[in-house]
Amino acid sequence: MVRHFLDIHRLDAADLRAILDDARARKQARKGWPRGRVDADAPARDRVLAMIFEKNSTRTRFSFDAAIRQLGGQGIIANASDMQLGRGEPIEDTARVLSRMVDAVMIRANDHEDVERFARVSDVPVINALTNRSHPCQILADLLTIEEHLGTVEGKTIAWVGDGNNVCHSFMHAAPKLGFRLRVACPAEYHPDLRDLEKGGAHVYLTADPREAVQGADVVVTDTWVSMGDQDYEARLAAFEPYTVDEALMAEANDGAVFLHCLPAHRGEEVTDEVIDGPRSLIWDEAENRIHAQKAVLAWCFAG
Ligand code: CP
Ligand code: NVA
C-alpha cells in the first residue's frame, strides 16, 4: 500500500502520534547544525520529491525543499502554470508520468478533488500541501509547536477564531485523533464545512461568539479572513470585523495561553500587532516547525 498523506482524518491515531514524535526527535537531534546538513539516518537518501504549486507559497515551498534535502533526498519544484497541467493535461496522466520519474509528489491545489484524483492513480506517495478544503501539514507544525510549549495536546483546549476554512478543517480532523477540544468561533455564513465538522465529532464545539470560544482555551489560533481563491473580499471583511484576536480577547483565554497563526498574516485584520508580535505569540517557532513536521511526514511516506 502506498502511504499517501492526504488528510489527518485518514491517518491512524498511532501514525499521527508517531509522526509528531519523530518530528520532535529530528528537530532535537540536529540542534545547532547548519541547515543543509543531512540527518544521520538519511531516510530519503536516493529519493526525489516533486513539489507542484497551483497557488502561491512561501513557507510550504521552502520548508518542503529544505526538508527533503535534510532527509538526504532531492527536490524538484514546479508551478502548475508552467506544466502541461496548466494547459489542461489530465491530472491522472500527470500522476502516471510523475510516478515513473520521482519517488513522492507534494501538491498544493485549488480543488481538493484534484489531489484525491492524483493520489488514486499515483504509484508513489502523494502529500496534500494545502487545498481549498484542508491543510494537514500546517496542523502538524501547529501541534508540534503546542506540545513544545505546553506539553501533550491531549486534554488541552484550542480556540479557533475567524474563518471556518481549510486550516480550521484540518484542526477539526486532528481533535478526535489526539484527544483535544476545539472551540470554533465563526460568523454563521463562514462556518466550517459540515462534513469536516462531523469528523471532529464531540471534540469540536461551534459558536458565533469569539469570547465564548476562548473561555478556558490554552491556545488561540486564527488565520486570514480571505483565503487564496476567495472572491468576496468586502463581504468577508465586514462579516469578520468582530473576530479580530486582540489583547482583550486573549485576556479571556487561560493564563499563559499562546497564540498561533499559520501565516501569512494581515495585522489589523484577523490579529492585532500587539498579539502577533507579543510574548504569547509562537508564530516563528510554528513557521520553523513546518520543516520538522514535514520531514516526519516524508520519512513516514518513504517507510511505507
Ligand atoms: N502557512 C503556509 O502554508 O504558508 P505558505 O502559503 O507561505 O506556504
Ligand atoms: N487559509 C489560507 C492559508 C494560507 C497558508 C489560504 O488557503 O489561503
- Reported confidence tier of residue 40, pLDDT bands at 50, 70, 90: very high
- Reported confidence tier of residue 272, pLDDT bands at 50, 70, 90: very high
| C-alpha distance across the termini of the chain, in Å | 7
| Pairing between β-strand 48-53 and β-strand 74-79 as defined by DSSP bridges | parallel
- Reported confidence tier of residue 113, pLDDT bands at 50, 70, 90: very high
DSSP 111: S
**Res 78: pLDDT:** 98
Mutate which of 130, 170, 221 for ligand 1 pocket (most atoms within 8 A of beta carbon) = 130
138 C-beta closer than 6 A to ligand 1: yes
Distance CA 230, CA 150 (A): 34
Dig out the grid coordinates for 55 from the structure.
497557488
Give, using CA atoms, the residue closest to atom 6 of ligand 1: 57
Ligand 1 mean position, distance from CA 56 (Å):
8
CB 123 within 8 A of CB 97: no
130 C-beta closer than 6 A to ligand 1: yes
pTM: 0.98
pLDDT single digits (tens) 167-218: 999 999 999 999 999 999 999 999 999 999 999 999 999 999 999 999 999 9
Give, using CA atoms, the residue closest to atom 6 of ligand 2: 227
Atom index in ligand 2 nearest the CA of residue 228 equals 8
